[in-house]
Structure 1
Amino acid sequence: MSGERVFAECRPLLFTIAYEILGSAADAEDVVQDSYLRWHGVPGEAVGHPRAYLVRTVTRQALNQLRAARRRREEYVGPWLPEPVRTEPDVSEDLVLAESVSMAMLLVLETLSPDERAVFVLREVFAYSHREIAGLVGRPEPAVRQIAHRARERVRARRRRFEPDPGTAREVVGRFLRAAGTGDIAGLMSLLAPGVVHVSDGGGQVAAARRPVRGRERVARFIAGVARRNLPGTRSEFTTHNALPAVLTHRGDRLDHVLLFEIADGLIHGMYAVRNPHKLGTATVPRRLVRTRNEADETWKP
């Protein structure tokens, strides 16, 4: 198998790892591209296990990117949300993968240190052993075990679980859009859980709430107000982003925002509105996310 084909087969896994570590599709693509250039410059006979080499390269590059990004995010205007990625509906069939790329989980991962985040993702999502992770991140195995335990406990204390509910998602979102479009506060409230949270990310580039909006009535009134000002002249498209039901709202040929929904038991528990135009450049591009390993190592011949 050629080196080009090996990289092509590994690319979905490499992107998924980089995205889960970084929470940014653009940065993940940069990391994958940089890894390709490094791979292209290494003689084939020097790489005994291509996938392991590529995963190690991507992991370390993503860690470097994350450390730099953390400093930038400290100065971010308003709430920071991960860059949304368009996923296929069948991603929800893999519950581990679906939860790991959900907005709620990616925000929990933001509370971890870079090393904790990388170790947690590699261990809990991709099922690498502690010994393998030690080689990937360049840390001793005993240290990796401690980091993994600490990260797992921190995530367990903060995680919010929402079982995918594709059967009712489109119906609930459709009713939500109709109620928002007509300013029906009561109709909106009937679709919202009591503890619903709405988070907007404008990054200081466009108008967005500077703090999360919480509670059924406050969120309903906020949504109705936003819809009254912004929906005229727009068109909406139902999609799946980050393994969640979502709506793309276009104004002319421009994507205005992506709104993702956490839905359980027929009610909306969370909404994430990504409006920062810097995070929308590839939001319409379908992404193939995987967490399984392929057999490229065993079939590759330099």
Structure 2
Amino acid sequence: MEHPEVQNIAETMRQTVEQLSKAEPIDTNADRTDLSAAHLLSLPKGRTVADVTEQMRKAATHLKPAQKTGTAKFETLDSFIDWTNRFKGDESVVFANQSRQQPSLTSVIDYHPESAPQLDPKTGDANARYCRHRGLYKFPVSEEWKIWNAVAQKTLAKSELGEFIEEHAKDIIDPSPALLGSGKPENAEPWEKPLIEVAAKLKGRYGQFARLMEMSRHLEIYVSSNLITKRNPDDGTVQMSFENENKDAEGKPLSIPNLFLIAIPVFDQGVNYRLPVRFSFKKNGSAVSFRLTIYNPEAAFYDALKEAVNTAQEKTKLPTFYGSPETP
């Protein structure tokens, strides 16, 4: 029978050896500088195995990252293009997001090479990339665009209409003679022809800035009703209706232009677009309310966006896709 003291000495020696023993690397036939390999250690106490792969990778990338990552954000399209050209490679691409809420351009520098997946159980897909190195440009919608689209959602009293027109007079331009109906339509400039077509489609005519100011300050509207009767010769019945006519303070029929022109940029620091604005009014009792609505603003928005995307594509020479890149 072993003496208890002998057993205690052996236990003490074992514990002492465990505590003093060094951690020993386990040979996995891996190069110690290979960040893709597992690095294992045999620890003294209980000879447990610890996976220190992540710690080794952190140590190896402490002073220098293993790859370029992050998203650079830009305030101008030119800066976005210059940065993309600085870092682009053979596999880099650009994504264009057409969202009306927040249009944007994203360049993915480390995008996947063009090919089908090449899966290997040991090395994985040779053509897979993390797509973590990116540039982002969010198109800043101009203040003018925000203001004129916001007023389209409102009904304005006469005083509010006058204040709005005076405050944003810089955006309003007088129509050219061709838009006012002078001269032959076939002699109109290329930019005038679509606006002439809009007026014809809406059965309207363009007003000048001075006329808008005059109406917003002095317009008074009176409504007169005329009884109209129509007899049906087949059954002898008579239909009666009232036809309303709007007149000014002197009793003359109102002649109000229902269109005028503004020139505003869609995006901040962008070129101005000539846009027709519909002018309408409604009389409720003694009060008159007005509406100002940009005609087909989507056309100008997507045209400005496409122009910017084409510029980025031409200057970066990169494949461009409409949509959003995968989440890295």
Task: Give the TM-score taking structure 1 as reference length.
Answer: 0.23
Give the helix-richer structure, 1 or 2: 1
Structure with more relative contact order (C-alpha pairs < 8 Å, separation 6 or more): 1
